[in-house]
Amino acid sequence: MIDRLIDRIEELEAPIVVGLDPLPEMIPDRIKRRAAETWGPNLKAAAEMLFEFNKEIIDGVCGAVPAVKPQIAMYERFGPEGVTAYAKTAAYAKGKGLFVIGDVKRGDISSTAEAYAAHIAGTEFGGERFEPWGEDAVTLNPYLGTDSVQPFIRACEKYDKAVFMLVKTSNPSSAELQDLTVGDGGKTVYERVADMTSSWGESTIGASGYSKVGAVVGATHPEQGASLRRRMAHTFFLVPGYGAQGASGKDLRGFFDAAGRGCIVNSSRGIIAAWKSGDRYGENDVGEAALAAALAMKEDLRKARE
């Protein structure tokens, strides 16, 4: 999966994943009204509102970026109907030729992890196998250790999927735990997790030189990101923190390898809420504004990859 993703990144010259993390205030009133008129003031209307908004974003960017990353919490807040909207969004994106990275951040004991791994392994019933989530990859919290991630790694190997372990996250308080020094040669916690992530991926390295076990490394930590790139030569990075969280292309030069590969950078609000920025766009320009923001990001990242 990572080899195919890298090929698509190179084809589009766009190491970009669009975060589909819609908040109600990001969604035009016309979409909200249509959902309410069709379904009434209920959670079905809320879920359809998310899906219709996502469709316009996907239609706008699908020829310019290789991937989207729906954050499941934004859908779960609306209950079962919201989860259905999440799955419908993934299916619609796949139909448009996009890779889907499910931002689910799962992490639990091994028996529970086996069930969670159905996100990428699929599930069987009545002698048939189903993939209800439609994801190519998911994010994982590896802080329960090896037995919590093994079911996902097996799914990667068997079904050509990928996972991204939380290694050094973009939020400001990540240092409270991730930067602590542990009794392993003076490594920080995130360095220890980085080494484990590299080890977990050794058996899944593809033709690109990158494994199916990737790492989440925040753009808001450029020095640590550059250090981790040197430390994790065969690990593909998913990089949040660009745009609304403060990072720009110049902060990411060290995240890419010498060939300008090795990571995909996420932007959420900066793309999906672009229609609200300035006087150029209105509520009928959701897809057009998203595309313009994605192309501007592409140019910004081009400089970082040179």
**Whole-angstrom distance, CA of residue 213 vs CA of residue 162:** 6
The residues with which 185 forms a beta bridge, in sequence order, are none
Which of 94, 96, 105, 276 is flagged as catalytic? 105
Decide: 235 and 193 in contact? Cβ < 8 Å.
Answer: no
Q: Which residues touch 134 (CB under 8 Å, ≥6 apart)?
A: 87, 90, 91, 93, 94, 100
161 is catalytic: no
Q: How far is CA 118 from the centre of its chain?
A: 18
CA atoms within 13 A on the CB side of 205: 13
Residues marked active site are found at: 105
